[in-house]
A and B are shown apart, each in its own frame.
Chain A
């Protein structure tokens, strides 16, 4: 079964600093990879997804992620953090079974300091 590992359950950055949230996947075949964001008391919103096209994927709110097969990574970055970026971020991989459900990482809570 495929899986993802998110390194760091909590990340704190200063406003304007680089955001880097780490995700590593485990898969024997090319995966589909996703980043979702969850704001307090809300559902999950798709930030971006990798579907085997370009390895550098741009998403909403200035976020992007790069698929690196050699490192089995799909880290999420944003050049300059904004206070509104404070949320929980989930990396997910698409299951190769027929259900096509997502398997999620444990999440990383991003805190942005003024």
Chain B
């Protein structure tokens, strides 16, 4: 498709389980971002990938969170040993990396519920 694609759209998991969320960015976009949107917490930056550079992981809330981007395209966000406070919408976004005014395009998100 033409937009940022995320899967699954909804995921319910038991506390303590690991989950993987997938993001397929817009073709040709070299920058990829993960954000978390929690009720009452707004939009929180998690991690940023740019081409082959080392990712900026400064927003990851704990070492239970990790992400990788294979081949400069698809990205997977992994949450290990999930906790109830991990329940949120995880948004992926991508952009051309041509200056700081470039538009960032968002997917529809993966809604994670930890029970």
- Which residues of A are in contact with B by a Cβ distance under 8 Å? 32, 34, 36, 41-46, 49, 51-52, 90, 94-107
Most B Cβ at <10 Å: residue of A42, A96, A102, A105: A102
- A96 cross-chain contacts in B, Cβ below 8 A: 100
* Complex contact B101–A101 (CB within 8 A): no
Interface of A is mostly: loop
- B107 cross-chain contacts in A, Cβ below 8 A: 43
Q: A49-B101, A51-B101, A96-B100 are in contact. Are A101 and B42 (CB under 8 A)?
A: no
Residue of A nearest to B92 (CB): A43
Task: Answer yes or no: B65 CB below 8 A from chain A CBs.
Answer: no
- Which residues of B are in contact with A by a Cβ distance under 8 Å? 4, 31, 33, 35, 42-43, 45, 48, 50, 56, 59, 91, 93, 95, 97, 100-109
Most A Cβ at <10 Å: residue of B59, B100, B106, B108: B100
Interface of B is mostly: strand
* Complex contact B43–A90 (CB within 8 A): yes
- A102 cross-chain contacts in B, Cβ below 8 A: 33, 45, 104
Nearest 7 interchain pairs by C-beta: A51-B101, A99-B48, A104-B43, A43-B106, A43-B108, A44-B106, A99-B56
Q: CA A98 – CA B104 in complex, angstroms?
A: 15
Most B Cβ at <10 Å: residue of A52, A98, A101, A103: A101
* Complex contact B101–A44 (CB within 8 A): no
Most B Cβ at <10 Å: residue of A32, A43, A52, A104: A43
- A46 cross-chain contacts in B, Cβ below 8 A: 103-105
Q: CA A94 – CA B95 in complex, angstroms?
A: 13
Residue of A nearest to B58 (CB): A99
How far, in Å, is A24 (CB) from chain B's closest CB?
15
Would you mind naming 19 contact pairs between A and B with Cβ atoms under 8 Å apart?
A32-B101, A34-B103, A34-B104, A41-B108, A42-B108, A44-B43, A44-B91, A46-B105, A52-B101, A97-B56, A99-B48, A99-B50, A100-B31, A101-B45, A101-B59, A101-B104, A102-B104, A103-B45, A104-B42
